[in-house]
Structure 1
């Protein structure tokens, strides 16, 4: 049993999509706190780190292909600091929730974390839907504000409020709070 399972959601991104220009300015400030959280989690026995990323419609893509594409994308500087190390659990998803059509629920039943820490992008989309799916599976959810990125600031704030009020998520001001 671990204290926390930290999910890194959709951070392997080429930033070659219609919303990229709106998303990038909100991703830039989360890279450092997220990178620090990822690094700290790798050094702790009481934390599990799991990467879940959209396959962007390429059903033949391995996770390594997605990482390579992201590193060859428009903003490798947003990807390089958080590329998963070899041996960490990685999985691809096909829709918004990290649970949908993945083995995440099964993995979490094996790891038995006390809580899920949701990080990544996009707050009002994939993070929100993952929080809902975690909640209906009775996993306590934590979301550090400085480790999630939104496209629309108002929708991002509304998503955090929904997670807190409707899904009983703990919304932290900083990712460092996840290390306590």
Structure 2
């Protein structure tokens, strides 16, 4: 059973929204360490690798369609290194939190997960709200700072401080996650 879950949140993006230029700059820095962390996590017995991605309002979209839209979007170079392995869980989401409207809580409970590692985008939105939902569900939280992308750096810094202080999140780096 997995005791830790690595959540990759909203990295399969077509990058076609307001503030996209700000997000792209941050995502460019995040993709290499996050891709390395995903490679280290994949296939480990003690880690549940879970992708949770916005369905962008298309409730009929399959995993393959979400991946395809992202690859055909504005920044395939940010998507390709993070395409999910075929044997990992993939959950479409509809709002900011990875828990809202998904089966994430059931999956984590079923696998015996006690700790979640939150990665992806956007730090001051989806990562923050997912952290709060994880905290109220009594999960330990780890956030590798170099694996979360933001739109507004000042808000992301405040969100990280809130997650550390109010949700007892451990703030680390990709190299420290999963035993480095």
TM-score (norm 1): 0.97
Aligned runs of 1:47-62 on 2, under 5 Å? Answer: 47-62=47-62
Deviations 1:15-66 (A, max 9, x none): 1111111100000011010000000101422111000001111111112111
User: What is the correspondence of 1:1-180 to structure 2 with a 5 Å cutoff?
Assistant: 1-172=1-172, 174-180=173-179
Task: Give the gaps of 5 or more residues in structure 2.
Answer: none
Aligned length: 179
Q: Aligned-pair distance for 1:167?
A: 0.4
SS of the equivalent of 2:101 reads coil
Q: CA RMSD in A?
A: 0.8
Deviation of residue 176 (structure 1)? 1.8
Instruction: Work out whether residues 3 and 111 of structure 2, in 8 Å CA contact, stay in contact via their aligned partners in 1.
Output: no
Displacement of 1:114 after TM fit?
2.7
TM-score relative to the length of structure 2: 0.97
* Distance (Å, rounded) in 1 between the aligned partners of 2:92 and 2:49: 15
Distance (whole Å) between structure 2 residues aligned to residue 139 and residue 47 of structure 1: 14
The runs of 4+ residues in structure 1 deviating greater than 4 Å are: none
Counterpart CA distance in 2 for 1:141 and 1:113 is 11
Q: Please list every run of 5 or more consecutive structure 1 residues that lacks an aligned counterpart in the other structure.
A: none
